[in-house]
Chain A
Amino acid sequence: MSCALSRPVYWFLHLWVLAYCVVLLAALVVQFGLGELPCPLCMLQRYGMFLSTLGPVWIILDSNRGDLTLQRYQQGLGLAALGALLGAVVAARQIALHVLPGDPGYGTPFLGLHLYSWAFLTFLTVLVAVSGLLILSPVTVSVMDRGPAGAPSPRLSQAVLGLFILLLVANAIMIVFLEGFAWMLPDDPVGYNLLAPTGTP
């Protein structure tokens, strides 16, 4: 059985992907603009964001093709929730590492909170959003014999999805330079390993 998303939910999913694109873009700006290299836990939180966002991306892609089923919609939201949970655990770990009084934390705070604290809040927001979408699914998703093919605004939809893929590729290229030939990132990176190896494991 195919299904169709209501317009608000369809665009909400785009907004969700776009919001994480902005966060991931901001992380790259902090990295390259302010020269603050990401620690291993920072990178794991980025992976959590990618992992979580793949859920709505899958739903949007299938919806645009007219192939969306209720099962796929629920699976996409499940992937998003699991990815967010994984990211939240990593962010909570990093918050716990810097929770002692007097600890300056890692990196520059933004609006009073460090980036890992913001990341934790975004993961919580995703979990709340997934819960809301599942609770509202009887109202916002209509089941039918054949889903409507084609996106309401194909160019806008493709632009959002394209930006997400671009950021994924950009991070993949960046990590090759950051990690170099090392198996893992150093706990406190000081440079790009591929350009100036620091002898990390």
Chain B
Amino acid sequence: MDIIILLVLLLTAGLMLARAPRNAVLAAWLVSACLIAGLFHQHATSILPLSF
């Protein structure tokens, strides 16, 4: 998942460098933001393997 996020971030930067249409840049940025938020949600709600 982390690999995908960094690839999408790289893609977003690439689109900015390549003067891609505004909507393409915004869409790529939004996808990476959603992936980050999703991964955070997964980490924040997963059960920790704790034992007392």
Q: Which of B1-22 contact A (CB under 8 A)?
A: 1-3, 5-7, 9-10, 12-13, 16-17, 19, 22
Bound CA span A165–B10, Å = 8
Which residues of the other chain, B, contact A184 by a CB distance below 8 angstroms?
1-2, 39, 42-43
Count how many pairs of residues, one from A and one from B, have CB atoms less than 8 Å apart in the complex.
Answer: 80
Which residues of the other chain, A, contact B44 by a CB distance below 8 angstroms?
93
Query: Distance in Å from the Cβ of B23 to the closest Cβ of chain A?
Result: 11
Is A47 part of the binding interface, using a Cβ–Cβ cutoff of 8 Å? yes
Residues on A facing B (Cβ under 8 Å): 40-41, 43-44, 47-48, 50-51, 54, 57-58, 61, 65, 67, 72, 75, 79, 82-83, 86, 89-90, 93, 164-165, 168-169, 171-172, 175-176, 178-179, 183-185, 187
Instruction: Evaluate contact between A168 and B9: CB separation under 8 angstroms.
Output: yes
Which residues of the other chain, A, contact B22 by a CB distance below 8 angstroms?
72, 75
Instruction: Evaluate contact between A90 and B19: CB separation under 8 angstroms.
Output: no
Which residues of the other chain, B, contact A51 by a CB distance below 8 angstroms?
9, 29, 32-33, 36
Which residues of the other chain, B, contact A43 by a CB distance below 8 angstroms?
2
Residues on B facing A (Cβ under 8 Å): 1-3, 5-7, 9-10, 12-13, 16-17, 19, 22, 25-26, 29, 32-33, 36-37, 39-40, 42-44, 48
| Chief secondary structure at chain B's binding surface | helix
With A185-B2, A187-B48 known to touch, is A86 a contact of B33 (CB < 8 Å)? Answer: yes
Instruction: Evaluate contact between B36 and A47: CB separation under 8 angstroms.
Output: yes
Bound CA span A90–B6, Å = 17
Which residues of the other chain, A, contact B39 by a CB distance below 8 angstroms?
40, 44, 184
Query: Distance in Å from the Cβ of A89 to the closest Cβ of chain B?
Result: 7
**Cross-chain pairs A/B with CB under 8 angstroms, 14 sampled:** A44-B43, A47-B6, A51-B32, A51-B33, A79-B29, A86-B36, A168-B6, A172-B7, A175-B2, A175-B6, A179-B3, A183-B1, A184-B2, A187-B43
Which residues of the other chain, A, contact B25 by a CB distance below 8 angstroms?
58
